[in-house]
Amino acid sequence: MRLKTALFSALLSTLLLQLLPPALMQSVHESSSADLLFSKIYDAHLSMIPPPKVNGTFNVTFDMAIAQLLELDELKQTVSMLTWRRMSWYDTRLSWRGRVFDGNLSFNSISSIKIPNSQIWKPDLVVYNDVRKTELDWSLYYASIQSDGLIRLNTPQLMKLSCPINVQLFPYDKQVCRMKIGSWTMDGFELNLLNASTHADLSSMAEDNEFCLVKAPLERNVIKYACCDAPYPDITYSILLQVNAACQPGTFWSCSVHFLC
């Protein structure tokens, strides 16, 4: 009986091994070498020091999708929304393409790995007119690292933007809510902030969303202050909102706010 079971399980595992698609077996192998790779490139203190410049610049590219408009508070003059931010930059300290570790280890067959973003240095980009008191905990989100050191980090972000809403014109006019993004501590010599597109990506907004938004073009500004040589780049989105015509005069303040698509 025991022998039979043993035989059966041996047979089953042989069968399974043969049935397992090569891709899956490879991915098991790859993931253990990805672990080894990570242990070779990772150094805890790197997460605290910005990456070295490449050819004199350190570029950080920012892009954003607006997923949902959540609330418009006429009294507090705030607009809340859910966004997805997408950032990318090079951290050459974490690259492995063409590198040999411990004299004879190379990982050129691995094109990218994913690691929790808490393990790496990240640009301190903030939304200047976000009035929320607490930051959404996005420490769990994974960053992808490419073999040449390109890091991509996409995280959701809830925002409550402070933006003046003209209550005289509202809801009969289009309203513009600005969102300004930049590094909190680094100037343009240290961190060159670049935009990846000309508009916020609205393609992931739910079609049947009761809230709506006309468009959200952006501008990249470089501000120079009299005090210093350093430029201060920022990306400023102009979010154009329009209110549903169903809100009639006099009833506006009691009706919920809807936006026209």
DSSP result, 76-92:
TTEEEEEEEEEEEEE-G
97 touches ligand NAG (CB under 6 A) = no
Q: How far is the CB of 140 from ligand NAG (least distance, A)?
A: 29
- Reported in sequence order, the residue ranges of the chain that DSSP labels E, i.e. its strands, are 59-73, 78-90, 112-116, 125-127, 142-146, 150-162, 175-183, 192-195, 213-215, 218-224, 231-241
Q: How far is the CB of 173 from ligand NAG (least distance, A)?
A: 25
Q: Out of 98, 103, 249, 250, name the contact with ligand NAG by CB under 6 A.
A: 103
Q: How far is the CB of 226 from ligand NAG (least distance, A)?
A: 23
106 touches ligand NAG (CB under 6 A) = no
Q: How far is the CB of 150 from ligand NAG (least distance, A)?
A: 10
Q: Which is nearer to ligand NAG, 78 or 195 (CB)?
A: 195
Q: How many residues would you count in the chain?
A: 261
Q: Which is nearer to ligand NAG, 131 or 196 (CB)?
A: 196
Q: 């969102």: which residue's tokens?
A: 179
Closest CA to 259 of 79, 85, 95: 79
Contact letters (x/-) for ligand NAG, 149-188, by CB under 6 A?
Answer: ----------------------------------------
Contact letters (x/-) for ligand NAG, 187-226, by CB under 6 A?
Answer: -----x-xxxxx--------------------xx------
33 touches ligand NAG (CB under 6 A) = no
Closest CA to 237 of 144, 172, 161: 161
Q: How many amino acids of this chain bind ligand NAG (CB under 6 A)? A: 15
Q: How far is the CB of 253 from ligand NAG (least distance, A)?
A: 37
Segment lying near ligand NAG (by CB under 6 A), choices 28-36, 96-104, 117-125, 250-258: 96-104
Would you state the structure tokens that stand for residue 217, as one six-digit string?
């073009």
What is the C-alpha separation between 138 and 119, in angstroms, rounded? 12
Q: How far is the CB of 84 from ligand NAG (least distance, A)?
A: 17
The answer to whether 69 and 158 are in contact (CB under 8 A) is: no
Q: How far is the CB of 197 from ligand NAG (least distance, A)?
A: 5
Rule CB under 6 A: which of 34-93 touch ligand NAG? 54-55, 57, 59
Would you state the structure tokens that stand for residue 27, as one six-digit string?
């991915």
What is the C-alpha separation between 77 and 176, in angstroms, rounded? 12
104 touches ligand NAG (CB under 6 A) = yes
Question: Using alpha carbons only, how large is the chain's radius of gyration in Å?
Answer: 25
Kind of pairing between the strands at 150-162 and 78-90: antiparallel
- C-alpha angle 204-239-243 in degrees, rounded to nearest 5: 90
The residues binding ligand NAG (CB under 6 A) are 54-55, 57, 59, 102-104, 192, 194-198, 219-220
